[in-house]
Structure formats: C-alpha cells, structure tokens
A and B are shown apart, each in its own frame.
Chain A
Amino acid sequence: MIEYAGGLISLAYAAALGLLVLCSIDRNRTLSLLEMSALSYGIGLGLFAWEMLILQMAGVSFTLPNLLVPVTSFCVVFYLAFGRAKAVKNVAMKSKAPPPRPWSPKSSVKSITEISFFCAIGLELTHVFFRAMMKPMEAYDAVAIWALKAKAIYLSQSLPISFFQNKDYRISHPDYPLLIPLVESYVYTFSGHFNDFVSKLIFPFFFMACLVVFYSALRRIRLSRLESLVFTFFLASIPHFAVHATNGYVDVVVAFYFSSGFLYLYLWILHDNFVFLLISAALTALAGLTKNEGVVLCFVNLVILGSALFHRRNGYTNKIAWRCLISYVVILCAVLIPWFSFRTSLVLYNDVINRRTILAAWKWENLKRIKPILYQYQAQFFGPKNWNIVWVLFFGTIIMKPKRLITGDIKYILLTLTLIFCAYSTVYLIMPFDLEWHLRTSVSRLFLHFLPIIVFFLARSYVEEGKTNSIPVS
C-alpha cells in the first residue's frame, strides 16, 4: 500500500493545482465542489503534461523540482491574483444561506432507491479500481504505445528524441500525442521509482471523474437526483467502458476530456455562462493532447460552438460572439501548439492519416468499404456484452422522436454525434491498411470517446421539454 501512496499523492497534488486554476476561473463559484474536484483532476494532470512539453522546448530536464516549482508557482500566483478575493466573499455569503430543509419520510423512501443506485455505481467503481490495480501494464497498446514511452521519458528525464526516431520502435507510434505517457512519467518521478501498478491508478480515477462530471451535467439539465443516478449508473455499468478504465488504454481518458468538453459547451449553450466555455475549451484541447482522434474532436466542438453562435446571432453582439470564438480557439492553440511543435521538429507523421494517404484515398472503389464499416458498426450496436442496450435505446429514441431531435438545444447533441460518426467513418474509408483488421480492433474503442454523450442524449431526451432552465447543482 505504501507503493500506492506515492502515486496517490502525486495525483492529489496535480488535482490540487487543477483546483486552484478552476477556483481562479470560476470566481462566482458556479461549479459545485463535487464537479470541481473531478474537473481539477483532469485539468491538473493536463497542466503537468503541458508543462513538461514546455520544459522540453526550453531544454529543462524533468526532475521533480523542475516539474513542481514552475507549475505550482504559476497556479498559486494565478489563484492569488484572480481567485482568492472573490472566494472569501462567497464563503461569507454562503454562511448566511438558510439551513437545509428538514428530513421528511417521503424523501427517505425515495432515498432507498437512490442509495441502491449509488451502491451499484460504487460497486462498478470498486470493480474498476480492483481490476486496474491487480495487474501491471500488460494489454497490447497500453504497453506498446503508452507505457513504453512513459518509461522512456521517465528514465531519460526528457522526451528522448533518439527513442522517438528509432525505426525499430515504429510500433509505439511516436507521432501519437503524449499526455498519458507524460502523466505516467510524472507519477514515477513523484513516487521516486518506476512502478506501473501505481501509474495504472490514473485510469480508474479518470473513469470516476467522468462519472462525476456526467452526473453534475445531468443535474444541471434539471434531472432529479434519482434520475441522474440512474443515468450515471447506465454509463458506469456499460461493460466496455468499465473494462477500458482498467487496462491502460487511453480511450476512457479521451472520453473524459472530450465528453466533458462537450457537456460544458452544451451547458454554455443553455446557460450562457462564460466559465463553462473556458472549461470546455481546456478539456477539449486536452483531448487533442491525449490521442490523435482528440484533434478531430476539437474540430467537432469548434463546429458546435460556431453553429451555436450562428443560431444565436440575434442574441449576441458581434463583440461577444467573437470573444467566445477567439477565447476557445486561443485555448485550443495554447494547449496544442507545444505538442505539435515538438512533433514537427521530429518530422513525425501519422502512418494512417497523412498527406500521401489522403491524396491516394479519393477513389470510387473506396466506397465499397461502406459495407464492412456498416457491418462492424451494427455488430457493435447489437452487442449487449460490450454495450448493454445503450445503442438500442439510442436508435430507438431517434426513431420514436425524430421531430424533437432537430428542434431546441438537443440538436447540438445530435449534430455532435453525427459529425463524429462522419469523421471516424471517413478515416475508415481512406485508410491505407487492412480495413477489416482496423475495424475489428478499433471501432469499439473509438465509440468510447463519445459514449458519455450518447447516454447524455438519452437523459436529455428523457427530460421534458422546457425543463432545461438554469439550475444550480446540488
């Protein structure tokens, strides 16, 4: 257990820094403590990965003081400058709030069901943590792509250029974004030794953070506590989602960053709170820093932002609309540029999607691929072993309420899902390698990236129209 303590402290430290940043941004305390803690975990770890890329550009090695001092100083100064004064004021205001309502038998009866679902989520979480902690990094991509790089970074205390350019290690895809290898190496550096059982803790915590953010978003669209718990349980109990939080693959991490990024963008569309937009931009950008697909997902959220601004052009002045768009783009660029500049400096290119494959892809015969792609999609949709009945419910909802889906705010969810399906399907249409193999090995994992949005879509469809006014998270 002592071995795990170092890892846990390193993650808690990153989360604490993330919390400082969030407190500085969210000066009116729009976010609840629960969602703030979940978001701070993702943002804190993202901060460390981003800082390491900057340190690499500056030629500074990744020793523990070099890792901790700059980012800690930045977060503390940022908090002192922007966050603290307002926070003290808010605490003072909260102390004057009326006491909570007294206990009533009715709410107690209700709470038995709530407790049951809470326990079921707890059971899934325990199972996920247990499975993650029981085994070292051992799954194929977890080892070949992510953990190997993390070990190389940790041992060389920098991004080892010779390793990234070593042709014998092409299998580790040196062009893939480095958030997870950097975070794993941070955990090793903080703990003082290499232990991949400990770094595996990163993933179940992302799973947990994803559930917390998801639950909070449901509360914000006016679902009751019980309803929110039920839908959160739906998400937690999808076998494929839970399994991928235990094996060292990064798809659950992408799911957290992208889905949370989308959910806060959606909440911004509903509530017009600028803090949501800033959080959405940061989380979406970190999805791009986690996996190449994340960059596509950044564009998807940008398109959604653009279309929301366009639809509301009467409600905004040009100045506000541009401020929103520019803020979003600036945050995306600020987070992603250090990685792309490093990648460009090494002349690394993607082996699946690059200029050559794109130019070679525009052939009519590639359309024949639609059949195997659709076949593989339907194999997933009707596979309860991996997905329970989530896809059946999703398509059932679309078929049963087609008109409602193109009106109101729900259209943004559907547009997002459509764009992702189109983008991922296009990649399968043009990729130069064995399509069948790629479909077999990757489709189910790509679906994970937006799975929380699928469940959110179900929840949103369940909510009665007109219920989505601004409400605080309880």
Chain B
Amino acid sequence: MRMTKLILLTWLIVWVFFLVRPFLLNKSSLVEYVELAKGDFETRRTIAYGTDFYQFLKFCKDRLPGDSRFQLVGVEREAVDRVRASYYLYPRLHSEKPDYILVYKTPRFIQKNTTLFASLDQESFILRYEEDQRR
C-alpha cells in the first residue's frame, strides 16, 4: 500500500511539473494561448504558420490560378513550411516543371525565362515562366 501511494505521488509530481514547466520556462506561451483562444480562425492560422509566411501564402493563393503548378524558393527542402505551402495552396500543385516560381524572402532571386507576375514586397514575389518555356 505504501509503495502504491509512493508511485501515485511520484506520478502526480511528475505530471504537475511537466504540465506547468512550459509556462514557467516560456511565459510568452501563456500569452499565445490567450491570443489563440481569443482569435478567429485567421488569427489562429497566422499564429500557427507565422505572420509573414501566412501572409505570403494568402497572397499566392489569391494570385495563382487554381490549376497552376508552382515551385517554392526561399524555404528549405525539409522545412515544415514547404509542406504547409503544398497543403495550403492545393489544388495548385507543387511541381518540378512549374508554371510559377513562388519566391519567399529572397530579394535577389533571378530565374531565366521568367517575368515578374506579382509581388507582395521587395523580398517575396511570384515569377511566371514565359509562355513557350512552361512545363
């Protein structure tokens, strides 16, 4: 019985410790929780994806045709942002033979046979392959 109580007590201590610890280590996480609770779906997605990247994705979604194919530049190959972009922009397809290049925070990026299609700011923009160079 004593052993059982000891186990239970240890479990409870470890549970409370790891439940409270994240908030003690990072007080901003509590603020984020409050913001998430207060916010609408847009605000929550902005917090989850990051303000700049989500703004860029929304910009791309507004500008790209629904059946287009794109390539993403400025996001690392294994980064979670890359799969979030593929997901958020679907049915626009990520492709090795794209119609558009989505450039994120890469101000001096240049690609042959492309023209500026739309730009969010100096660093993030969409390039379109010239008609005869597509796919």
Contact = CB atoms under 8 A, between A and B. Distances in A.
Contacts of A462: 4
Given A134-B37, A385-B18, A151 B90 contact: yes
B24 interface: no
B15 A155 contact: no
Interface in A169-210: 169, 171, 195, 197
B16 to A, nearest CB: 9
A151 B84 CA distance: 12
Interface in B95-127: 95-96
A148 B93 contact: no
27 contacts: A134-B33, A134-B37, A134-B44, A135-B44, A135-B48, A136-B48, A136-B49, A138-B48, A138-B84, A139-B80, A143-B84, A143-B86, A144-B87, A147-B87, A148-B83, A148-B87, A152-B90, A168-B96, A197-B44, A237-B11, A237-B15, A385-B18, A388-B11, A388-B14, A388-B15, A389-B7, A393-B7
Contacts of A385: 18
Contact of A135 (B11, B14, B36): B36
Interface in A372-386: 384-385
Contacts of A169: 86, 93-94
Nearest to A234: B11
Interface in B63-98: 80, 83-84, 86-87, 90-91, 93-96
Considering the complex of A and B, which 4 residue pairs feature the smallest CB-CB distances, nearest first? Answer: A144-B83, A134-B36, A138-B48, A143-B87
A126 B74 CA distance: 38
Interface string A70-106: 0000000000000000000000000000000000000
Contact of B86 (A148, A195, A197): A148
- Determine the main DSSP class of A at the interface with B: helix
Interface string A36-57: 0000000000000000000000
Interface in B10-59: 10-11, 14-15, 18-19, 33, 36-37, 41, 44-45, 47-49
Contacts of A171: 83, 86
Q: Which of B10, B11, B47, B96 has the largest count of A CB atoms less than 10 A from its CB?
A: B11
Nearest to A123: B19
Interface residues of B, number: 29
A135 B29 CA distance: 14
Contacts of B44: 134-136, 197
Contacts of B94: 168-169
Contacts of A237: 11, 15
A292 B95 CA distance: 27
- Determine the main DSSP class of B at the interface with A: helix
Interface range on chain A: under 10, 10 to 19, 20 to 34, or 35 or more? 20 to 34
A211 interface: no
Interface of B: 4, 7-8, 10-11, 14-15, 18-19, 33, 36-37, 41, 44-45, 47-49, 80, 83-84, 86-87, 90-91, 93-96
A166 interface: yes
Contacts of A389: 7, 10-11, 14
A140 B83 contact: yes
A3 interface: yes
A148 B85 CA distance: 10
B45 A136 contact: yes
Given A144-B87, A393-B7, 7 more contacts: A134-B33, A135-B48, A138-B49, A148-B86, A148-B87, A151-B87, A388-B15
A122 interface: no
A230 interface: yes
A361 B68 CA distance: 41
Contacts of B84: 138, 143
A143 B48 CA distance: 13
Contacts of A197: 41, 44
B19 to A, nearest CB: 8
A466 B96 CA distance: 65
Nearest to A127: B19
B14 A148 contact: no
A168 B80 contact: no
A250 interface: no
A472 interface: no
A147 B86 CA distance: 11
A195 B90 CA distance: 14
Nearest to A462: B4
Contact of A143 (B7, B14, B83): B83
Nearest to A155: B91
A155 B48 contact: no
A389 B8 CA distance: 10
Nearest to A239: B18
Nearest to B32: A134
A20 interface: no
Q: Which of B4, B87, B90 has the largest count of A CB atoms less than 10 A from its CB?
A: B87
A6 to B, nearest CB: 14
Nearest to A136: B45
A166 B7 CA distance: 52
Contacts of B96: 168
A3 B44 CA distance: 14
A137 B87 contact: yes
B41 A195 contact: yes
Nearest to A146: B87
Contacts of A388: 11, 14-15, 18
A169 B10 CA distance: 46
Contacts of A135: 36, 44, 47-48
